Structure 1
Amino acid sequence: MPPTFCASKTGACLSIICSLMLHGDVSLAHQLILSSGQAFVAAMPRHHRSFMAVQCPQVLPEPQYGGCAVIADSPSRNAIARQAADLAVRGFIDDYYSTPEHWDTKYAVHRVLRALNMWCYSQSRFIRGGSYVSAFSTMIFKRDMAHLFHAGDTRVYRIRGAECDQLTRDHITELGGYRYPSRALGMDVNLDIEYMRLPVKPGDIFLFTTQAVNGTLTPSDYVQVISQHAIDLDEACQQLCHRASEQASERGYGDDSFCFQLVRVDQIEATSDEQQQTASLLDGEPPVPPELRVGDELDGYLIEEVTQRTEKVRIYRVLDPDSGRRFVLKTISPQLSRRSPFLKHFVHQRELIERVRSPFINRVANPPRPRNYYYYLLNYIEGDLLPDWLRAHPNVSYEHRLDLARQMCKAVSTLTHNNVIHQRLRPESFLIDAHGQIMLVDFSACEDRELASKQELLSLTCDIGLTPFNAPEYALNGEVGRRSDQFSLAALIYWLLSYRWTGREPHGEMPYDVPLDSIRSEAARAQMTYIPLRERVPSVSPALDDALQRALSPRRGLRFRRLSEFLVALRPEQRHLQPKARSGSRWWPVAVGVLIVVWLITWWSR
């Protein structure tokens, strides 16, 4: 049976338990237990500006979501303030637990918060004397890790023993002695979210509060009060509210709203040694399948061909006997190092592919039955990889190759519009099906441009391996992004258009004499000189050659700002032909002259 969740609230303590049941027996190997307490005090409870919650669904097919603690606080003092904080908390919880199960935690939360931020920002434009702006902090508890997301001046502390550490920083700006939020939910069309991932231990306590406690309680006060009421977290929160109100009155801060929320980790999910090597890194996914050979079966699929076997992945062509359909099954190599950056990337690689919809990009197939091992299925497409197809059709026309280049641009453009960078565009990444349409089938280095850091992008690409089509910034540890894909795409188009017979076998040319994957210094990049494509293919138009030269600039900042600008140069040339002269059009001046003479003679005879 799949894992089941149950949530129960007894008195003042909320316990969230995840247990795995196998063959009717309850196993405590997979169990997460959290306890929580809450309290708030406000001079006018109906107009309080803060909202908080701890949530875990009662039934889940898999432990993909974990526990969730949220707090929101509006900086405004109006009737909309309460609605803003309430909407932020309730909207986030409802949307987060509705995201697809295979989404990575970081990506799922970012997607939900971006959508929620856009809605709040759009609604604020129609409100006078208020706005749906609120500071926001949430923590997702999954296995033995906590994922913290923060924007604004709400605060999250971790109390471990006698130590109290503030995990968040206040996103504020001080002007004229006043503090203004510089980052918050609904403040701007773009939301900059602070993210932190940290391990948790049994006994860790996390305190969620708002900026109102600034100047009232210190970290030592938190430790003292919580340690005195560690059994009853609700009572601990009540004592914190009481002490904060007393300190505010003594120091003349006036009546203000105070809210405190405590979450204690009572037990984390324990795993066996074998599961810790795979499942912990795969974030709750099934184990990696063993080595497979032709004729073997996996989850009812018959292995027909081992398409690719590398040190990182295994790709098989499989047949589903029930439906008669063929799929491409992709999984991780059993020998892959558990410290490889590729392992973490592979976990959400499937989600990246599902985000993009294009007739020029292969799609993930829905499995017809539950998975017992970790893999994902792609639609199987009859066809040849681009290099194999070109070797079989060496005399394909220039116009046909240019049409293939346009199809490749449409595929990459779809990735760009979905904030996905490919990082490994090469001839083997594309397949041509039986109808002559090109299809992007390789996603080994795809990453989310907004969520992945520069170091994550570089380490992933270097771990997989650079290709001759990679932009120079990869080898020089520079900034990478959409323009890096633009360089690789332009290099691939250059190679495709220059593909021809030279000697014993056909091959394509590269735009530089120096191999792109051998650039190791700024001096080597400065010596890169573009070889005009027209010198090798005279039929190439000057406009296309100039566009390729710009897209292939060694300097990232000199390339096109948008891929659409590069696509303009690949459009079919419009030949503007002069309209044909009508038959007899050269005699019309004579006819007009004759008519004028006749008219003058008639007028004179009168």
Structure 2
Amino acid sequence: MAFNIDIGFTTQAGRKAGNEDFCAAMLPDPGQEGMGSIVAIADGVSSGGMGREAAQTTVTSLVRDYYATPETWDTTVALDRIIGAQNAWLSGINQRRQPVLGLTTLTALVLCGQSYTLAHVGDSRAYLLRGGELLQLTHDHVMNHPDFRHQLLRAVGAEDHVVVDYLQGELLVGDVFVLVTDGVHGVIADGRLKELSDLQAVPSAQLASHNLVNAALAAGSQDNVTAVVVRVLSLLDATLPDVSRMAQTLPISPRLKVGEMLDGLRVTATVADSGINLLYQVRDPASQVLYAFKTLHPDRAHDREERAMLAHEAWLATRMQTGRAADHLVHIHERLPAGRERTAFYLLYDWHAGETLQQQLDRGQKFGVQQALAAATQTAQALGRLHQQCVIHRDIKPANLHQGVDGVLRLLDLGVALSGREPEAMRKLHAGTPSFINPEQWGYSATAADGPEELPDAQSDLFALGVTLYQLLTTRLPYGEVLPYQVGRYYRDPVAPSRISPEVPIWLDHIVLKAVARDKRKRFETAEELLLALERGASRPLTAPQASPLLQRDPTALWKLALGVSLLFNLLLVYWLLFLPK
């Protein structure tokens, strides 16, 4: 269903010479519908006439820059980053031009999916009219004294750091949000405000905002008067909180057999069983279209954390469909064919004919240099686009790289990917395939073999891609196979691929060894850097990597050597005392 709202706004200077209030609204461009719509209202406060500037720049920067933030960010994170940056800029301006100041209140509302997010600083207000009841959503940041009730305790631009109040809640069709400055709510009682905002009696949001402003002026308001009214007519598809709620409420299907049907989809094959998730190939009998059907294993049906992780994958896969990374990801279907309703919680992806790179390795296929380079180049492109969206895949390996018959290499399985909005349990999970996990996640660094474990980052994906490229070229792993529940050991430098496969050129040796270097500082920092090295190839080769000193590979080597010498000396001493003639 399309997201549809009715917005109305009215602002007047009233009895003041100038209007220092400002309000704005912005709807998403095509392809950004998942970010929702944003409205904001501000009341400028000044000594020297700069309040209008503060209010206008704050509101316009917020509604404009909101759509430039990654869709994977939580709405509160996006708003906080923008408001914080605007506050720092405005505060700096105020410090330079004192005593002339420009401060502003700010109340912003984002309507996204089936929820709303409110950000608030100052004494403007936001109300929610639902089911005939009017609820004030914000708290006035003013001094609690009758003589100083207009003295702000918080404002954008007042200090180097601003504390913003956030509120999130469920969105329902028919909800009416009212945002007003103190020139309105200071003279209109809540009962009257509710009456004027009731869109069952008023035909449009614009007329409701107009009536609120006129009522405030008629009541004798001495301030600028501004009102924004937003009515929710229909809702968009589910956001992450919405998907999470669905994941916890819908049942998990029992284990399905070939030929069985669920929600009009017939199972044609069981593709994989990891013990946590089940993957089926299913067909829609009406259209004969094949899909990939992913669900939790029935034994995990009561695990709320596993449900939350699968919900995060569903949400993330949906969000990624609107970005540049979509070309290298598998399309997910939020709705079932023919509009059928779901009776269980599962993910439905497109089915692509082809094989994973691991399947090709398992059947003994030998990857040539050009074939391996093509796979690495496409993967680096896909990772670069994921990382631009602040997403870390965390499980790059041949089994998760699918080469379609259409020639497109696609990344599979966002099940353990990090987006900044993943469940906390998932963030702490030591996820991924052990042989492809970078040394830092095992607590290994260039200076200590048993340091603190680091969280995965973009370089983790690039290390895994380097291991994948090494395996494609040599059929071996650079540091040997690490079995589950083992800890990787990095006490030697990898053997150059050309020593195993002589057809590998030296310049490619240098790229691969840099990608899988034990020292994080020597590896590629971004996917774009790795991609550039692959594309330049022999025309601008990288310098040969230097071998790591023994003490860097194993900081305990000196102590081991000293212990060995000491042990040998003591054995000789014992032998001399016991067996040599006295």
Shorter-chain TM-score tier: 0.5 to 0.7
State whether structure 2 residue 260 is matched by structure 1 residue 290.
no
Question: Structure 1 residues 306, 541: closer, same or farther in 2, change over 3 A?
Answer: same
Write 1 or 2 for the structure with the bigger share of strand. Answer: 1
Q: Structure 1 residue 428: deviation in Å?
A: 1.3
Instruction: Give 1:337's match in structure 2, choosing from 303, 310, 316.
Output: 303
8 Å Cα contact 1:532/1:545 also seen in 2: no
Corresponding residue of 2:380 = 409
Structure 2 matches for 1:397-546, cutoff 5 A? Answer: 397-434=368-405, 438-448=409-419, 452=420, 459-460=426-427, 462=429, 467-475=434-442, 476-499=452-475, 508-511=476-479, 518-519=486-487, 528-534=491-497, 535-546=499-510
Query: Secondary structure of the residue that 1:372 maps to in structure 2?
Result: coil
CA distance in 1, matches of 2:59, 2:434: 50
Question: Structure 1 residues 513, 330: closer, same or farther in 2, change over 3 A?
Answer: closer
Equivalent position amino acid for 2:461 in 1: D
* Higher alpha-carbon Rg: 1
Percent identity reads 17
CA distance in 2, matches of 1:139, 1:358: 29
Corresponding residue of 1:588 = none
CA distance in 2, matches of 1:486, 1:397: 21
CA distance in 1, matches of 2:520, 2:503: 28
Query: Secondary structure of the residue that 1:47 maps to in structure 2?
Result: coil
Write 1 or 2 for the structure with the bigger share of helix. Answer: 2
Instruction: Give 1:300's match in structure 2, choosing from 264, 275, 278.
Output: 264
8 Å Cα contact 1:353/1:443 also seen in 2: no
Equivalent position amino acid for 2:19 in 1: H
8 Å Cα contact 2:394/2:461 also seen in 1: yes
Q: CA-atom RMSD, angstroms?
A: 6.1
Instruction: Give 1:348's match in structure 2, choosing from 315, 336, 351.
Output: 315
Query: Secondary structure of the residue that 2:244 maps to in structure 1?
Result: coil
State whether structure 2 residue 20 is matched by structure 1 residue 44.
no
Question: Structure 1 residues 286, 382: closer, same or farther in 2, change over 3 A?
Answer: farther
After superposition, the C-alpha distances for 1:81-113 in whole angstroms (9 at most, x for unaligned) are: 7876886899899x99xxxxxx889469959x9
CA distance in 1, matches of 2:113, 2:404: 43
Q: Structure 1 residue 415: deviation in Å?
A: 2.3
Q: Structure 1 residue 338: deviation in Å?
A: 2.4
Structure 2 matches for 1:209-288, cutoff 5 A? Answer: 257=224, 281-282=244-245, 287-288=250-251
Question: Structure 1 residues 363, 460: closer, same or farther in 2, change over 3 A?
Answer: same
After TM superposition, the structure 1 stretch with the greater mean CA deviation from structure 2, 139-148 or 393-402, is 139-148
Q: How many residues align?
A: 457
Q: Structure 1 residue 488: deviation in Å?
A: 1.6
- Structure number with the bigger relative contact order (C-alpha 8 A, sep ≥ 6) is 2
After superposition, the C-alpha distances for 1:412-462 in whole angstroms (9 at most, x for unaligned) are: 2332344432111122101233466533232222343xxx16x85873471
Q: Structure 1 residue 552: deviation in Å?
A: 2.9
CA distance in 1, matches of 2:261, 2:459: 43
CA distance in 1, matches of 2:109, 2:355: 47
State whether structure 2 residue 346 is matched by structure 1 residue 382.
no
After superposition, the C-alpha distances for 1:62-96 in whole angstroms (9 at most, x for unaligned) are: xx999987434467748877876886899899x99
CA distance in 2, matches of 1:283, 1:89: 31
Query: Secondary structure of the residue that 1:570 maps to in structure 2?
Result: helix
CA distance in 2, matches of 1:433, 1:171: 55
Equivalent position amino acid for 2:414 in 1: F
Question: Structure 1 residues 446, 393: closer, same or farther in 2, change over 3 A?
Answer: same
Instruction: Give 2:41's match in structure 1, choosing from 64, 71, 79.
Output: 71
Corresponding residue of 1:552 = 516
Q: Structure 1 residue 311: deviation in Å?
A: 5.3
Equivalent position amino acid for 1:47 in 2: N
After superposition, the C-alpha distances for 1:435-492 in whole angstroms (9 at most, x for unaligned) are: 66533232222343xxx16x85873471766543123444555343322211221122
Question: Structure 1 residues 528, 207: closer, same or farther in 2, change over 3 A?
Answer: farther
Question: Structure 1 residues 42, 367: closer, same or farther in 2, change over 3 A?
Answer: same
8 Å Cα contact 1:470/1:517 also seen in 2: no
State whether structure 2 residue 370 is matched by structure 1 residue 370.
no
CA distance in 2, matches of 1:89, 1:459: 31
Q: Structure 1 residue 345: deviation in Å?
A: 1.0
Q: Structure 1 residue 288: deviation in Å?
A: 4.9
State whether structure 2 residue 97 is matched by structure 1 residue 148.
no
Query: Secondary structure of the residue that 2:512 maps to in structure 1?
Result: helix
CA distance in 2, matches of 1:337, 1:406: 38
Equivalent position amino acid for 1:372 in 2: E
8 Å Cα contact 2:11/2:227 also seen in 1: yes
Corresponding residue of 2:108 = 138
Question: Structure 1 residues 40, 89: closer, same or farther in 2, change over 3 A?
Answer: farther
Query: Secondary structure of the residue that 1:480 maps to in structure 2?
Result: coil
After TM superposition, the structure 1 stretch with the greater mean CA deviation from structure 2, 488-497 or 352-361, is 352-361
8 Å Cα contact 1:38/1:262 also seen in 2: no
After TM superposition, the structure 1 stretch with the greater mean CA deviation from structure 2, 457-466 or 354-363, is 457-466
Question: Structure 1 residues 417, 92: closer, same or farther in 2, change over 3 A?
Answer: closer
Query: Secondary structure of the residue that 2:396 maps to in structure 1?
Result: coil
Query: Secondary structure of the residue that 2:245 maps to in structure 1?
Result: coil
Query: Secondary structure of the residue that 2:258 maps to in structure 1?
Result: coil
CA distance in 1, matches of 2:456, 2:403: 29
Q: Structure 1 residue 410: deviation in Å?
A: 2.8
Q: Structure 1 residue 402: deviation in Å?
A: 3.3
Corresponding residue of 1:316 = 280
CA distance in 1, matches of 2:437, 2:16: 61
Q: Structure 1 residue 297: deviation in Å?
A: 2.3
8 Å Cα contact 2:261/2:267 also seen in 1: yes
Equivalent position amino acid for 1:363 in 2: H
CA distance in 1, matches of 2:3, 2:248: 15
Question: Structure 1 residues 326, 65: closer, same or farther in 2, change over 3 A?
Answer: same
Structure 2, unmatched stretches of 5+, are: 28-33, 90-102, 128-133, 143-151, 198-211, 231-240, 443-451, 541-582
CA distance in 1, matches of 2:19, 2:425: 49
Equivalent position amino acid for 2:438 in 1: A
Corresponding residue of 1:568 = 532
Question: Structure 1 residues 3, 429: closer, same or farther in 2, change over 3 A?
Answer: closer
CA distance in 1, matches of 2:462, 2:104: 38
Q: Structure 1 residue 408: deviation in Å?
A: 2.5
8 Å Cα contact 1:312/1:333 also seen in 2: yes
CA distance in 1, matches of 2:496, 2:484: 17
TM-score, with length taken from structure 1: 0.55
